[in-house]
Structure formats: C-alpha cells, structure tokens
Structure 1
Amino acid sequence: MITASELHEGMALRIDHQIYKVLDVASRAGAAKMSGNVQARLCNVHSGRLWDQHFRPQERLEDVAFERRNLEFLYSSGGTCVFQRLDTFEQVEFPSASLGLAEQLLPPGTELIGEFAGDEPVSVLLPNTVEARIASTAAPARAQPDSGTKEASLDNGRHIQVPLFIAPGELVTIDIRTGRYVERVRTQRKKGT
C-alpha cells in the first residue's frame, strides 16, 4: 500500500479489481482549510481506456509490483495481440487497445519486454520507432528534402506520407506513437560491389 502523494509515472495500481498503469501525475497543494489533491491519469491495462482520477494526498492505494519478461510478437487477431514468452514459450495475449498503433506497425518476430503482475499481463514496453518496407509509391522525384510528401503503402498494408525522394522497396523508420515517417534507413554497401 502507498499513499497517493507517492504516485509516480509508470506505477501500477489495483482499483476495484482492475489494474491501472499511471501515465501522468500532478500534485496541487491546498490553501487554508482546503486540502490538496493528487491528479493522476490512469490507463486500464485490459481495455486501454483512460481515466483521470483525483485522490486525497494521504489516500491509501494498492500498488502492484511488475515483473519484466522477454516477449516476441507473433501476430494480432480479433482485438488481441499474441506474444510468446522467450523463457517458457508460452503464448500471452494483450488487448490491441493497450498497444495502440504498434499493433499495426510491429513486424512479427520483434522482441520486446512485457510487464506482468504475477502471471497477469499488464503492458508491453514499446520502442519509439520501427522499420518498415515501402511496398508501393509513386516514382521518386529529385527535390529538396522538405519540399513535399506523397502517399506510400507499407508491406503491412498501412498507408503513410513519405518525402518525394522515397522509392518502392526502401526501408524507412516510422514513429510508433504517431505512425509518421521519421527517416530513410541507410544500408551499408559492401566494398567491391
């Protein structure tokens, strides 16, 4: 048990038999007879729903300890993302809502770290960016780097905006939170080829 004044980003709480991850915390001091409060933005780890909640600073809350385990992303289907634990090869399901855009952008075989409360899956620690191959787009145009964008289709079927100089078949980096193009992946050429 902890008090609300001890809350910090990244913690997990059990409230009414549901597990919530703390996304953001702000404390306000009270004045005179008014007591302060702790405002926390929480995310239900099963449904992905956000909840803004106010607590009294001395309110007792049940914190949940995380255990981190290595996982490999397998596939997503029917509102769930299926991972495999690398230590036991057991399959674990996370709600697609808890992964957001990552569900559509993560390539199968990606190794990630999962957080568990006992044997209950809580969340997946996602990278900031992923690499994806451009399946189709208009022919590249030689232009200034910041001059414009065009639509491109990734190998997973998702459509994004890329700079005019990107060609089909190229590998690009995509921001996993926004789904936007970040940069072209440069590949090393072997000497003598």
Structure 2
Amino acid sequence: MAALIEAIDVKRKTLFEHEDIPYYCMEADVSSPTARGGQTLVRLKMRNLLTNAVFEKSFKAGEKFKEPDLETVEATYLYGDADGYHFLDQQSFETLTLTEGMVGNALDFLIDGLLIQLNKYNGNPIGLELPIFVDLTVTQTEPGLSGSSQSGSVTKVATLETGLEIRVPLFIKEGEKVKVSTETREFAGRA
C-alpha cells in the first residue's frame, strides 16, 4: 500500500493524490487557530496533473492523502495524427498516445525523434516534460544586414520548422539550426 501524507506535511512541489486524482502542490499555507478548540487548516494551491487546472482548497491538518502512482519514462516523439501525438517508450518500446490537451504548448517544439520525459499515472500517459533546450531549423526569415555592428542587440522574426515564431539576431539565415529555450520560447544560440 502506498504511504499516506498528512495535509500538514504537504509542502511546495509535493505530489499527492486526492479523490483518485494526482496533484502537484504549488503553494502551502498553514493557518493555526486563534480560538481554543479551533482546527489547524492547510490551504493548498494545487495543480491537477490530468487537466492542468489550478485551484486552491483548504484541508484539516490531519487529513491524509495517498502518494500517487506516478512514473516518468524517456520517450521519443514519432508523429501526430487525428488520434493524437504518438511517442515511443524507450524502455518498453511501446507506442504511447497523448491528446492535444495533454501535449499543450509543447507542440511548438515537437520534431521527429525528440527525446522527452513522458509522465504516466497508473500506467497511462498524462503529459510530458520537454528538455530545457530544443534545436530547431529556421524555415523563414528576412535576410540580415551584412556588416551590422549591432548584431547582438538588433533582432528579426524567424519562423521555425514547427511554426513557432521567435526573435533571432540578424546574422541567422534560413536553413540554420538554432537552440530555443522551451521555458522562455526565446533564441538561446546557434545549434
């Protein structure tokens, strides 16, 4: 049986299960009672790992939560179609499918063969984590000015192979690979 976690012990970044749904704790605030006989309450800001919905809820300090059956596996992006987005589990070589809602904004970075971390709950895929940087090819951009001395501070718009548009320095040309931060969605250097 999975270990139980008391509400008072839930801290920031804790994973727990409430009403058969896995949650990630974003903030925890303990409020002690001022009156005698009052109960200590724990207010949690939590994210539902299945829907990504964020909300706050208060619990009594003694309430218990189960540890969720979460697992992270390495997977490679294969392709997307009407059924969803397909990934190859690197351990079991099983094809796992995520819906567009599960993939979310990661679509801007998914290219064939990209290695990602796939999250599973009770053995079923529920979401993914991208690497910090992804190398993408520039498919369209304006020609830069040759001999520009301010090449580091002046930028132009570039469209990448996934359709994502970012700002790049003037010296970047079509066909070049660039390193893009998946967190900030900004140019991070040549690949």
State the TM bucket, normalised to the shorter chain. 0.7 to 0.9
1:79–1:25 distance in 2 versus 1, CA, 3 Å? farther
Deviation, 1:13, is 3.0
Unaligned stretches of 5+ in structure 1?
186-193
Number of residue pairs matched?
A: 184
Candidates 67, 70, 78, aligned match of 1:66: 70
- C-alpha contact (below 8 Å) 1:161/1:181 kept by paired residues: yes
- Quick check: 6-15 or 146-155, which moved more? 6-15
Counterpart residue identity of residue 140, structure 1: G
* Within-5 A mapping of 1:1-193: 1-20=4-23, 22-30=24-32, 32-33=34-35, 35-78=39-82, 80-141=84-145, 142-185=148-191
1:8–1:92 distance in 2 versus 1, CA, 3 Å? farther
TM-score by length of 1: 0.79
Which aligned segments of 4 or more residues in structure 1 are displaced greater than 6 angstroms? none
CA RMSD between the two structures: 2.5
Cα deviations across residues 3-35 of structure 1 (Å, max 9, x unaligned)? 112224444333333333x15122234252365
Cα deviations across residues 123-173 of structure 1 (Å, max 9, x unaligned)? 323212211111111112224144322111112222222222221122111
Distance in 2 separating the partners of 1:177 and 1:80: 23
1:126–1:54 distance in 2 versus 1, CA, 3 Å? farther
Question: Does the residue aligned with 2:92 lie in a helix, a strand or coil?
Answer: coil
Distance in 2 separating the partners of 1:73 and 1:40: 34
Deviation, 1:180, is 2.0
Distance in 1 separating the partners of 2:28 and 2:157: 40
Question: Does the residue aligned with 1:104 lie in a helix, a strand or coil?
Answer: helix
- C-alpha contact (below 8 Å) 1:143/1:164 kept by paired residues: no
Distance in 2 separating the partners of 1:126 and 1:105: 8
Question: Does the residue aligned with 1:101 lie in a helix, a strand or coil?
Answer: helix
Question: Does the residue aligned with 1:52 lie in a helix, a strand or coil?
Answer: strand
Cα deviations across residues 104-127 of structure 1 (Å, max 9, x unaligned)? 212221122323233122332321
Distance in 2 separating the partners of 1:183 and 1:176: 13
TM-score by length of 2: 0.80
